[in-house]
Amino acid sequence: MPKLVEYENMAPRAKAVVEGIAAARGIEPADINNVWKALARHPAVMEQFAAEMKQAFAPGALDPLTKELVYLAVSIANQCDYCIASHGTMARNKGMTDEMQEEFMRVVLAALKGNKIAMAYRVPVDKAFEEA
């Protein structure tokens, strides 16, 4: 399954998706990153994911760096190497300093431990949280 399709060889529907992303990022369509070259084989999946990403990162109540950190936290919890590499880069591009990254890792690791403690000790949910 791993084949990548370069922009120039993509079907029109896939090209249109790539052009939209490239325009938003200010890059050339040929320089699109690999996940889109892989998805080009399945235009319907590609269009839906591109729309979902665009909406998720549209300006709103949360700032862009917070959204990148949430994305990166999910990717670490899910152990997606590609996503850690790509969204780690994007987080730094959006302002994540070394100091922020270290704090972020501390929260991620504390959360992972808290998650497993709650499961291992079979902790029942407090009434106060159920009713919140």
In the block, tokens 């730094």 appear at 92
Show the CA angle centred on residue 57, arms to residues 11 and 103, nearest 5°. 125
Residues 11-70 that bind a second copy (CB under 8 A): 33-35, 38-39, 41-42, 44-45, 48-49, 52-53, 55-57, 60-62, 66-67, 69-70
Is the CB of 26 or the CB of 121 nearer to a second copy?
Answer: 121
Q: State the Cα–Cα distance between residues 124 and 6, nearest whole angstrom.
A: 51
9/106 with CB nearer a second copy: 106
- State the DSSP code for 26: T
Site for a second copy in 80-119 (CB under 8 A): 80-89, 92, 97-119
